[in-house]
Chain A
Amino acid sequence: EAGVTQFPSHSVIEKGQTVTLRCDPISGHDNLYWYRRVMGKEIKFLLHFVKESKQDESGMPNNRFLAERTGGTYSTLKVQPAELEDSGVYFCASSRRGRGETQYFGPGTRLLVL
C-alpha cells in the first residue's frame, strides 16, 4: 500500500508569488488533513476534509490560504500571495473513515518564502 505522497518536496518562492502544494492520500482514506510546522515550533493543524467536504478549517491562518479536495481524492493547498511568515514544512495526513483512526503523514513540502 502506497503511503501519503506530497508534491513538491521543496519550493522556494518570492514574497507575493503563488504556490500550490499537492497531497495524494492513501487510497480509500476519506479523511485528509493539512498541518504546518514553522521551524522549531509545534506542528499546527490547518484543516480537515472528509471526502470533498471541509470538516474543520479552524486552523487556516487567513484568507491567503485556499484548500480544495476535488472529488474526494487528492487535495491542493494554495497560498496566494505568499508572505515571509508562510515559510515552513507543510504536512498532509490521511486516515480511514471513523473516529480515532491513525493519521498517516506524508513527507512534507518544505516551503521557503524569500
Chain B
Amino acid sequence: QQQVKQSPQSLIVQKGGIPIINCAYENTAFDYFPWYQQFPGKGPALLIAIRPDVSEKKEGRFTISFNKSAKQFSLHIMDSQPGDSATYFCAAKSFGNEKLTFGTGTRLTIIP
C-alpha cells in the first residue's frame, strides 16, 4: 500500500514550459512535504519543502502548491531549462518520526 502516490511517471516539456508533478497522500499525520531532485549517478537532494500551514511556497523557479483538504501537493517549475532534467521525488514525514515516505518518482526531460 503506497502512502504517497506520484504522477506522472515521466514528463517531457519544452524549454520555457511549466512542468507540473502531482502527489497525493493518505496519512493525515504527515506534516512535512519535501521534494527531492536526483541527477543520474547522484543521490536525491532536497529542492524545496512545505508544511501544511501554508498553501504555497516559492523558491526561485520552483513552487509547491499544497491542498490540505484534498491531501494533495504539487511541484511547478517556472521557465524550465534543460538543466532541470532529472528525476523528482515527492515525500512526506510525520511529526516525531524522522523517516521519509517517498513517491515513485517522475523522470522529467526538458527539451531545448
Contact = CB atoms under 8 A, between A and B. Distances in A.
Interface string B69-112: 00000000000000000000101010111111111110000000
B46 A103 contact: yes
Interface centre among A4, A95, A103 (most CB of B within 10 A): A103
A102 interface: yes
Contacts of A95: 98
Given A4-B43, A43-B44, A56 B98 contact: yes
Contacts, number: 60
A42 B105 contact: yes
Given A91-B43, A102-B46, A42 B100 contact: no
Main secondary structure of the interface of B (DSSP, over half): loop
Given A43-B105, A99-B98, 18 more contacts: A33-B98, A33-B100, A41-B104, A42-B89, A42-B102, A42-B104, A44-B102, A45-B101, A48-B99, A59-B99, A91-B43, A99-B95, A100-B32, A100-B93, A102-B46, A106-B43, A107-B42, A107-B43
